[in-house]
Chains A and B, each alone.
Chain A
Amino acid sequence: MTQTPPRSFQEIILRLMGYWAGKGCAILQPYDMEVGAGTFHPATTLRALGPNPWAAAYVQPSRRPTDGRYGENPNRLQHYYQYQVLIKPSPPDLQALYLGSLQAIGIDLALHDIRFVEDDWESPTLGAWGLGWEVWCDGMEVSQFTYFQQVGGHDCRPVAGELTYGLERLAMYVLGVDHVMDMPFNDPDAPIPLKYGDVFRQTEQEYSRWNFEQADTAMLLQHFVDAEAECERILSAADTDAAGRRIVMAHPAYDQCIKASHLFNLLDARGVISVTERQAYIGRVRALAKKCADAFLTTDAGGAQTGEDAA
């Protein structure tokens, strides 16, 4: 059933939370690191690997330094939100579940034209790819819908279904707003009504300046090298700790991979990476992601039969 129209950005987020919670997803919180997209959250990247079932939904603040426009562009931001759902194995009615979520945020399927248009997804930095669609509502892309086939170079068995909603764009459409900064963040009738611009205009300006002009590239390059080295060091440590417990540090290593990826994005925004170097950097991050995936698959969460269970 189509719900009444939401009145604010946060109401759309809350309704998605309520909807996917009602469908049995664990509602997680954002990952506490800078990432380029919701896919980087370990709840997606790592949990898409291995045989264990999984169902999670969360908002992930995402940063794309090159998309900064000092808060002036009606729909381009260097910091924005993605809503991410990952269910493994992908249920047979995932399309219907997804359409239900559109109804939950007030899109009347009897009046709109919803289409699944081919769009294959690939993340060269994560060594991941999948097939699916971009979902169009009246000609506008409102979500990405992907059946993961590989992550970190490993075949996904079972296959996870991933849904990604670009929250600002979707909300602007649902709320009928033309400029993202004009979008009501909380209820317009709240005692202190806030618009998206009240929350984010100034930060867009500040980060745009830093991303494009100020970020210290020599320092960022060093951080990239450090993150890469730390990731590899963590993964090459022995499986057992000082007390003899088997603890593979897949997640701490993956944190360093996330860092390297974001540092690469920052360097890219500063324009210090040439076309040929680009591929090499992406390859270095991918190598880390693959090693993290390899490590995760040797852990319990990765479905490995370890310790006493192995007997």
Chain B
Amino acid sequence: MPDLLIELFSEEIPARMQARARDDLKKLMTDGLVAAGLTYASAGAFSTPRRLVLAVEGLTAQSPTLREERKGPSASAPAAAIDGFLRATGLTRDQLELRDDKKGQVLFAVIERPGRPATEIVAEVLESTIRNFPWPKSMRWGNGSLRWVRPLHSVLCLLADEAGAETVPLTVDTITAGNTTEGHRFMAPGRFAVAGFDDYRARLKRAHVVLDSAEREAMIWHDAQNLAFARGLELVEDKALLSEVAGLAEWPVVLMGAIDDAFLALPPEVLQTSMREHQKFFSVKNPKTGRIEGFATVANRETADHGATILAGNQKVLSARLSDARFFWENDLRLVKTEGLEGMGAGLANVTFHNKLGSQAARVARIAALAREIAPLVGAAPDLAAEAARVVKSDLQSAMVGEFPELQGIMGGYYARAAGHDDGVPEACHEHYQPLGPSDAVPTAPISVAVALADKIDTLTGFWAIDEKPTGSKDPFALRRAALGVIRLVLGNGVRLHLDAVFTEADGLFPEEIKSGELIAADAEPGAHSLLAFFHDRLKVFLKDQGIRHDVIDACLAMPGNDDLTLLVNRAEALSAFLKTDDGTNLLQGFKRANNILTQAEAKDGVEYSYGADPKFAETDEEHNLFAALDAARTRITPAMQTEDFAAAMAAMAALRAPIDAFFTTVQVNSDNPVVRRNRLNLLSRIRQICLAVADLTRIEG
């Protein structure tokens, strides 16, 4: 059972692509080997900035011999039939076997496909893997037409067993596979041969290359923590950065430095962002002051001066970067102190939000007007909500956010405080963008909620007004995310509001001449293109993730007030819970039976049985009991519905289950007596009315 070792050695592979490339290499190779009839015990893929490596253990040395038998025509068949069989099998007449069959002698073809050696299969699969590798972006170089992520320099491909290692014969364009590789570019230049995976890994380590990215990550994290600990500091965790820097070094060496005192007054988010984005530095925090006071950088080599030159260079670059950041910070602060935060945002008038929807300043004015209307519904003071809305986008015009777009909102909070805003306004600067994704937190502070809702609803109504709705996978303005944001803001805070009314309010803030789309329809059916229907679709996706079935949601969407999402979801949750009980499922059957009989009778008779069921025409106990039960249920359901206590209403409905079951067991609805029959049909209609008052149960499946 030989082991296979493959190394694809190239110029520097982008760090962000390495993890996917490891998975792809492993999958393409092992799938290809297995498809060609080989098996293997285990496989592992590795990467460094300059190499992509696959080690496969326990590969079979050759694929099995396959024997296939095919039954042909009778020996006495016409020559044309026999010739056809020979062509299909690729054999000659004398290679066919004669076998006795019930109907006489029949021709058989026995085709044997001999197994192929692993070297042959590996060479084929590897060539195809290299030529078809799914890099996110690939390139050509020099005179060649081969594509790889960056120029590919060498291929190492070895099959090794107890007897020794064999280079797999393989040539891809100008590259012929061999048994050699290179170590660290600077610390161990030159090529060397290897005899198998263990030897490869050990020799690489001697040549200052740590093959496994997980090991490099662990080394970096461990060394950085130790260095921080020795200084009484702690490292700020950043998994994405750790994975990135591990993909940028073959021989990681952590160096730690201090941030110059002159920069310590900068907000920690600024320090951290500048260091991470520009320099790929980790932040180091002083637990006593809570401030970020140092950095850890990862070099790709050891030096005779123990990294002193490298650290000094990095420190210098950092100082230049932070000087810029401090310049932005001080200028921004000076501006908000003299002009206010609204003054900082004055330039938003010159920034186009969308060529049909006008400038950012126009958008801010609309959001402020809308936030004022929404404020009372979420417990916020209208003036404060409008004040917040007028300033939350101002930091987009700050020098700092110009440099670091990811600090939008965060800088706004600092600048809002500096400009004297308070009472939830500074927090709204950041929080009004939330929730940014399905896992982002939902703000709860009333001012933030009001502005966040106004912001998102303005976006949605605006793009609806100009008919730029998402289609299929295309959602360039992230409108699905905005709608989900509104849904989570409303549900997360138990906000009671009629979306239709808010949409109309928001829509009224846009000039009529830009409008070409349909905005709302109070009776929106699923599939309609109204904004409310779009919300209902997003809500279905959201509730499905919460375990509520789509038919349950449909049953509730069909009820009045379906633009009040909190009401809608309360109803859906109660119904979903109810249908999971025995009483619920049985009641549903009873309802459906009553509804079916009634619908058929109404269709047949051409009348509607909806009124006038009278107990005096009841003949059996079960019939009497049902009358009594319906009366009792109504007295409980009506007040429950008035207080929107759907659980109580459904509990009352549950009490109908036994009387309905008993009724159907013993009573024949279609009595010969027309008076009795009409009375019973009218009784069934009472069941229908009571049930449909809670939700449209006709939409429930099963």
Contact = CB atoms under 8 A, between A and B. Distances in A.
A116 interface: yes
Interface stretch (A130-138, A199-207, A290-298): A130-138
B186 A92 contact: no
B14 A111 contact: no
B139 interface: yes
B92 interface: no
A173 B312 CA distance: 11
B313 A114 contact: no
Contacts, number: 95
Interface in B271-319: 279, 297, 299-301, 303-305, 309-310, 312-314, 316-318
Nearest to B309: A111
B320 A113 contact: no
Interface string A140-177: 10000001010000000111010000000000010000
Contacts of A137: 313
A130 B150 CA distance: 11
Given A90-B142, A120-B137, A74 B320 contact: yes
Nearest to B253: A113
B143 A158 contact: yes
Contact of B303 (A74, A75, A111, A115): A111
A193 B209 CA distance: 47
B665 interface: no
A139 B143 contact: no
B268 interface: no
Nearest to A133: B12
A42 interface: no
Contacts of B323: 74
Interface string B481-517: 0000000000000000000000000000000000000
Given A131-B139, A159-B142, A138 B313 contact: yes
A116 B150 CA distance: 11
A114 B137 contact: no
B355 interface: yes
A236 to B, nearest CB: 33
A240 interface: no
Contacts of B16: 118
B355 A118 contact: no
B141 A90 contact: yes
Contact of B139 (A115, A130, A140, A275): A130
B15 interface: yes
B400 interface: no
Interface residues of B, number: 44
Contact of B142 (A110, A118, A158, A173): A158
A91 interface: yes
Contacts of A197: none
Contact of A140 (B49, B300, B313): B313
Contact of B150 (A111, A131, A139, A157): A131
Interface in A88-142: 89-92, 95, 109-118, 120, 130-133, 137-140
A110 B15 contact: no
Nearest to B15: A118
A118 B18 CA distance: 12
B137 A131 contact: yes
A214 interface: no
A274 B352 contact: yes
B248 A117 contact: yes
B14 A147 contact: no
A149 B150 CA distance: 12
Nearest to B14: A118
Given A139-B314, A274-B352, A113 B299 contact: yes
Nearest to B249: A115
B299 to A, nearest CB: 4
Contacts of B144: 158
Contacts of B138: 131
Which of B305, B316, B355 has the most CB atoms of chain A within a 10 A radius of its CB? B316
A139 B297 contact: yes
B134 to A, nearest CB: 16
A95 B313 contact: no
Interface of B: 11-12, 14-16, 49, 137-145, 149-151, 153, 186, 248-249, 279, 297, 299-301, 303-305, 309-310, 312-314, 316-318, 320, 323, 350-352, 355
Given A115-B12, A131-B137, A139-B317, 11 more contacts: A111-B304, A112-B303, A116-B11, A116-B12, A131-B138, A131-B149, A131-B150, A139-B318, A140-B316, A147-B141, A274-B352
